[in-house]
Structure 1
């Protein structure tokens, strides 16, 4: 072994320790600053709870029942049936006959250059009557105080947009190997973690739970200003900040729950669909591979070196802290290094597949053209 090889081998455990310690710098700031909203009346505001739905027969009634149980806020619930091939529309019609606050709309044919959810959200916003627009996915279950608390917080702090990651529910090993990366990235690798401000480059949002003040939403162009994006909430938050509006990410784990996917195959497909607007870029993914692989996977391969052992400890405790704060299942923590490997595999698969012309499919639609500009 040459002297250079020996030096590199000796340095690897310490490099992995540095990479494992890096997210602690951000977590130490982001977690204490993540607001927990309290139940509070929303005053005279009308909150339009807007739900884009495509093939959501298994989810939509539970979503509607939870939304209709909202307290301390006047609400309307509007569902956009986006060409569902199942009984989604029939279920919404039945619930609407029982509660006049529910409206069902049918999305017009998807225009060229639009993604399905963005198109549905844009049409929902046009139909909404509220002073505030609360966009949620069909697999989200709002807690009764969520709408009122989000509006109250937005008004108190002059925020045009408030978003949060709901408490993530996972029922299978495959979900536990994929879903926790959301909060890890938000809290461990995003400077300021979406904290209150107007700097567009530091904006963050989660499309599962987004409240926008209606006038500010329309002034910023709404969803229609970026019709081809997949990370619709992030694009909206950036655009609102670029126009001088303030946005913030709050603790969504006490506002709603969400079970995003049912099993590994569905999770892989869902994350792959959005990958090329996130980490899966030719310049970005090698950097993310170094950060995530070097800090969360490599230390395990370098055991029993003392620096590697400390890096493993830092990585697992970090994941445990985020799991505790965001109320995720504890049993997913020991899977952390495997989850990081899966996350990187999804990103590399999406990047390489995109280069080969492979387009991910989701609910009968194909995605994966050139990455869209999220701003």
Structure 2
């Protein structure tokens, strides 16, 4: 009984840490503010590989942008569906749209990173806004993000779009993106946290100032990674450029996946460059499981009840703030358990030498 009492209070301590950080970061991470400088041109850059189900809606949203001049460049990265045909139709109707064809993937590059570098090479803008084909940009997003960069001097402005969640499989995986960012990253990725180890970024919605991008070497400097947003943010901070996470729910929406199998595969792809390392993952397991799963073992002790109450209250606050569905909140313990299962599976696969795969390509990864 004494041992259980001690472990229950340790679990409470582990739950108090993210609760405290979450409250602080919910205050710190705010929507972007500012107006772009005169003469700004935002190049909206979209890597696309077999995106015929998404690309039209993506382009419709981008072309509704207001408040700043834009151009739209789509890089067809070896698609075997109607992606290129659809984009050509838009380009024929709107001079702001261009279609580019990605050259064969060179050795040492990952597919999306290579497409993004080629997009940057083709872009003419003062700012480069990289988005995924499943992102639906809000009309003021490009202008507001460029304005925020101008106001703050940040070389990178990024945020997590509001995640559209329509299935149990998505609910058990996707909410961990915002939960980890807000509750476990000191400073929430704001620019005053200058250390590269505290950088964060979301590759779904990432704006960089052209000069800062070129100065750091752009995507070519991180050509072998799978998690390009995070790698670019760290690279920029190391080079002396500020990077900033802003509240992204009002800037764009995104439905990443539609079922559990795709969620598992997608999150596994980036795991080795995040938590799934031999040194880091045991620590993350202790922190996450200790705070959000372990207290169930010690019910009905007071410490366990408080720990669980903190965890669910924190998850509710984050969920409401980032505008994700309220019905995902009771699934929080499942979401944590699935996240850890994905990370451990990715780590074991990596130690066994099995490559990560995505969209018909296999990569050893860098983790």
Distance 1:370 1:154 in 2: 30
Q: For residues 23-172 of structure 1, what are the structure 2 equivalents within 5 Å?
A: 23-38=18-33, 40=35, 43-172=38-167
Asked if residue 366 in structure 1 is aligned to residue 350 in structure 2, the reply is no
Alignment partner of 1:340 out of 332, 336, 348? 336
Distance 2:3 2:79 in 1: 56
Q: Which residue matches 2:218?
A: 222
Q: For residues 238-277 of structure 1, what are the structure 2 equivalents within 5 Å?
A: 238-277=234-273
CA contact (8 A) 1:163 1:206 kept: yes
Could you say what secondary structure the match of 1:55 adopts? coil
Distance 1:368 1:311 in 2: 39
Could you say what secondary structure the match of 2:148 adopts? helix
Structure 1 position 66, deviation (Å): 0.4
Asked if residue 21 in structure 1 is aligned to residue 16 in structure 2, the reply is yes
Structure 1 position 357, deviation (Å): 2.4
Distance 1:358 1:245 in 2: 36
Q: In the comparison of the two structures, how many residue pairs are matched?
A: 366
Bigger drift between 43-52 and 351-360 goes to 351-360
Alignment partner of 1:185 out of 180, 184, 188? 180
Distance 2:38 2:91 in 1: 25
Distance 1:262 1:296 in 2: 26
Q: Which residue matches 1:283?
A: 279
Asked if residue 329 in structure 1 is aligned to residue 330 in structure 2, the reply is no
CA contact (8 A) 2:201 2:245 kept: yes
CA contact (8 A) 2:225 2:366 kept: no
Structure 1 position 87, deviation (Å): 1.1
Distance 2:51 2:34 in 1: 29
Deviations for 1:204-260, whole angstroms, at most 9, x for unmatched residues?
A: 111111110101110111010110011111111111111111110000111000111
CA contact (8 A) 1:95 1:102 kept: yes
Structure 1 position 43, deviation (Å): 3.0
Distance 2:65 2:34 in 1: 11
Structure 1 position 41, deviation (Å): 5.6
Structure 1 position 300, deviation (Å): 2.0
Structure 1 position 28, deviation (Å): 2.1
Q: Which residue matches 2:303?
A: 307
Q: Which runs of 5+ in 2 are unaligned?
A: none
Distance 1:370 1:145, change over 3 A: closer
CA contact (8 A) 2:33 2:147 kept: no
Deviations for 1:259-300, whole angstroms, at most 9, x for unmatched residues?
A: 111110000000001100010011111001000001011112
Q: Which runs of 5+ in 1 are unaligned?
A: 1-5
CA contact (8 A) 1:80 1:124 kept: yes
Asked if residue 12 in structure 1 is aligned to residue 7 in structure 2, the reply is yes
Could you say what secondary structure the match of 1:150 adopts? helix
**How does the TM-score come out when normalised to structure 2?**
0.97
Query: What's the C-alpha RMSD, in Å, of the aligned pairs?
Result: 1.2
CA contact (8 A) 1:273 1:367 kept: no
Could you say what secondary structure the match of 1:253 adopts? coil
Distance 2:26 2:211 in 1: 30
Deviations for 1:136-169, whole angstroms, at most 9, x for unmatched residues?
A: 0111100000000011111011111100000011
Could you say what secondary structure the match of 2:13 adopts? helix
Bigger drift between 261-270 and 94-103 goes to 94-103
Bigger drift between 191-200 and 259-268 goes to 191-200
Distance 2:366 2:70 in 1: 38
Structure 1 position 35, deviation (Å): 2.0
Distance 2:68 2:319 in 1: 30
